[in-house]
Structure 1
Amino acid sequence: MFKALILKKEEDKKASSVLEDIEVSNLPEGDVLVKINYSTLNYKDSLAITSSSPVVKAYPMVPGIDFSGEVEETSNANFKIGDKVILNGFGVGEKHWGGMSQKARVNGDWLGKLPHKFTEKQAMEIGTAGYTAMLCVMALEKNGITPNKGEIIVTGATGGVGSIAISILNKLGYQVCASSGRTEHHDYIKSLGADRIINRSELSEKGRPLGKEIWAGAIDSVGSYTLANICASTKYGGVVAACGLAQGFDLPATVMPFILRGVTLAGVDSVYHSIRGRNEAWQRLSDDLNFEHLEKMTKTITLNDVEQTAKSMLENKTYGRIVVDVNA
């Protein structure tokens, strides 16, 4: 028996979460059984746990789009018992039971080996948010945005993606403008490496089709008017990496930034990204992330704390990264 957070849903009602004892035989199919040590609480997890968005495709469901742990059983030739592994995305916590559990049985093709430089907890302090942030930075680089090209704006600066993106960009030598509506966390944002901060209200309302050229690039986890206004104020040849929809999934923009300034809108998906790309991103994280920043941006909770913390996250009352110690 082991403990897992289970989301259950009756017809026409919101899902509810309950901490239950589960038999290993009740786990879904897969060729690798993992003893989980840490998971994380991401924005997508919070949407799922609170039934705020139709993230979960089937019930009952164990939430948690990330986990790190140790292989207990395997029939997959790529892994052996005792291997330290991580998982980000691939539909776990949405279509397949996820990481907010003490054990998981998954398809071994979804797993990656824990990079030697990280502990299991550090890997989850980074998690999907940090891995996504790294993919966004790589998208800027691959499109020619180097530190000498100008300032990069990062939205959702107190969130997981935003916090880690600022840290990475700062270490790589970029000038960073952070967008946030939370003045109480300005010192925190600046401690991660932001050179200046603007209020998110400057971007969150309907703007002009084409504005003043300000930013060489952007990492946006917000979407909607925010993303549209960033595109409108990106410099000629600039690149905007879009990875989230915290404000909304709409994009009320025009084609003008793209056809008059050659702006590139680069979509970043972390859920089904290739294994090769994942490995590159994790290697880059081991080299380009300031590990001291991880400690100041991370809070650790237990499975018992998940539901309330998910509500707080959607109420904009959390910041940084939330790690779940599933055995505490």
Structure 2
Amino acid sequence: MDRFRAYRITNEGRVSASFADMDESQLDQGEVDVDISFASINFKDALAATGRMPIIRRFPCIGGIDASGVVRSSRSPRFKAGDPVIVHSHGFGVSHHGGYSPRARVPADWVTAVPADMTLQQAITIGVAGYTAALAVELMELNGLAPGKGKVLVNGASGGVASVAIDLLSARGFHVVAATRKLAERGYLEGLGAAEVVDAGSLQVGNRPLESAVWQGAVDSLGGAALSALTRTMQKDGVIASIGNALGVEFSTNVMPFILRGVRLIGVNSDNDVALRDHLWHRLGTDLRPRHLDRIAQVHSFDELPEMIDAVADGRIKGRTVVQVRA
């Protein structure tokens, strides 16, 4: 019986996480077995492992909502042993054992082939965060976003989704304004393609139903009051992609931005069907391929996982935090 070490989240009176010895009999059901090489630490992962939010749906659960690796065996005709793949979304790392383990067994519909000429490390640097950014860009462009029509705001700019969004939007010719409270990261954000870097605190606006129209588009990682302000400061036919809730899950607005300016507020969710996921990963390997993955990624050993989870939970990182699960 193949044994391995995994990072498992438990709840015995309180939520905690630690390394544990496991064997393949403890893996969940699925058609595809994957030898995992890399995983990442998303903000959701950090909140789950620290118990700061009730994210995990079953205990114990191996954490990690995305991972890249090589197919070990497959009972699905879509994959064969040796295929490089990425796994993310659905219940992975939440209600189904996730990526903080050298072994995973998952449903075939959760698995996507890594694009040609892309390494496993590059794939996980994109990961669920980059996939979400790509989906946001595609949906915004389908709803009228176009270069030359105005500025595009990306808030929470040093985070994982936002970092990739800045990269993708700037490559497509948009004037990207990165909003952050971490102004020390100005060089990092400009290196990703931000035309302007502004203090997030400077974007506070009044409480009128409509404020001055500033943004053609916005990728919002924050929710709460930030999203409320955005709805009232969009240009005519402006597009907002809502991808996070770092400031809160509730926001207030009014109908005026929508009926007088035609503002579009789009929710972005990564739990998509196979066809859409394959389509977007194809684009992430071609016309939406991020240009600055080396700048975005910070790579750490598997042993450093607990320390880096705390750093991500506390907001002490930028970009994408990658963990090398298998040396």
Partner of 1:46: 46
Task: Please say if residues 190 and 196 of structure 1, whose CA atoms lie closer than 8 Å, have aligned partners that are also in contact.
Answer: yes
Partner of 1:296: 295
**Cα offset for 1:307?**
2.1
Q: In the superposition, relative to structure 1, how do residues 220 and 230 fare at CA in structure 2: closer, same or farther (>3 Å)?
A: same
Task: Please say if residues 39 and 67 of structure 1, whose CA atoms lie closer than 8 Å, have aligned partners that are also in contact.
Answer: yes
Number of aligned residue pairs: give it.
325
Q: In the superposition, relative to structure 1, how do residues 18 and 183 fare at CA in structure 2: closer, same or farther (>3 Å)?
A: same
Q: Distance in 2 between matches of 1:285 and 1:247?
A: 28
Partner of 2:268: 268
In the alignment, structure 1 residue 118 sits paired with structure 2 residue 130: no
Task: Please say if residues 88 and 128 of structure 2, whose CA atoms lie closer than 8 Å, have aligned partners that are also in contact.
Answer: yes
Q: Distance in 2 between matches of 1:188 and 1:120?
A: 23
**Cα offset for 1:304?**
2.2
In the alignment, structure 1 residue 277 sits paired with structure 2 residue 279: no
Unaligned runs of 5+ in 1: none
Task: Please say if residues 238 and 262 of structure 1, whose CA atoms lie closer than 8 Å, have aligned partners that are also in contact.
Answer: yes
- One-letter amino acid of the counterpart of residue 298, structure 1: A
Partner of 2:88: 88
- One-letter amino acid of the counterpart of residue 80, structure 2: K
Partner of 2:164: 164
Unaligned runs of 5+ in 2: none
- One-letter amino acid of the counterpart of residue 60, structure 2: P
The 3-state SS of whatever aligns with 1:287 is: coil
Partner of 1:9: 11
The 3-state SS of whatever aligns with 2:216 is: strand
Under a length normalisation based on structure 2, what TM-score does the superposition of the two structures give?
A: 0.96
Partner of 1:155: 155
Task: Please say if residues 172 and 288 of structure 1, whose CA atoms lie closer than 8 Å, have aligned partners that are also in contact.
Answer: no
Q: List per-residue Cα deviations over 1:251-301 (Å, max 9, x = no partner).
A: 12222211221100011101x112222122222222245655111111111
Task: Please say if residues 62 and 100 of structure 2, whose CA atoms lie closer than 8 Å, have aligned partners that are also in contact.
Answer: yes
Task: Please say if residues 72 and 82 of structure 2, whose CA atoms lie closer than 8 Å, have aligned partners that are also in contact.
Answer: yes
What's the RMSD between the two structures over aligned residues? 1.5
- One-letter amino acid of the counterpart of residue 304, structure 1: D
Q: Distance in 1 between matches of 2:97 and 2:207?
A: 42
The 3-state SS of whatever aligns with 2:178 is: strand
Q: In the superposition, relative to structure 1, how do residues 205 and 211 fare at CA in structure 2: closer, same or farther (>3 Å)?
A: closer
Task: Please say if residues 19 and 303 of structure 1, whose CA atoms lie closer than 8 Å, have aligned partners that are also in contact.
Answer: no
**Cα offset for 1:202?**
3.0
Q: Distance in 2 between matches of 1:96 and 1:144?
A: 37
The 3-state SS of whatever aligns with 2:286 is: helix
**Cα offset for 1:210?**
1.6
Q: In the superposition, relative to structure 1, how do residues 204 and 54 fare at CA in structure 2: closer, same or farther (>3 Å)?
A: farther
Q: Distance in 2 between matches of 1:160 and 1:320?
A: 5
Structure 1 residue runs of 4 or more that deviate by more than 6 Å after TM superposition: none
- One-letter amino acid of the counterpart of residue 3, structure 1: R
The 3-state SS of whatever aligns with 1:147 is: coil
Q: Distance in 2 between matches of 1:182 and 1:193?
A: 17
Partner of 1:325: 324
The 3-state SS of whatever aligns with 1:36 is: strand
Q: Distance in 1 between matches of 2:205 and 2:25?
A: 51
Partner of 1:19: 19
Partner of 2:233: 233
Partner of 1:129: 129
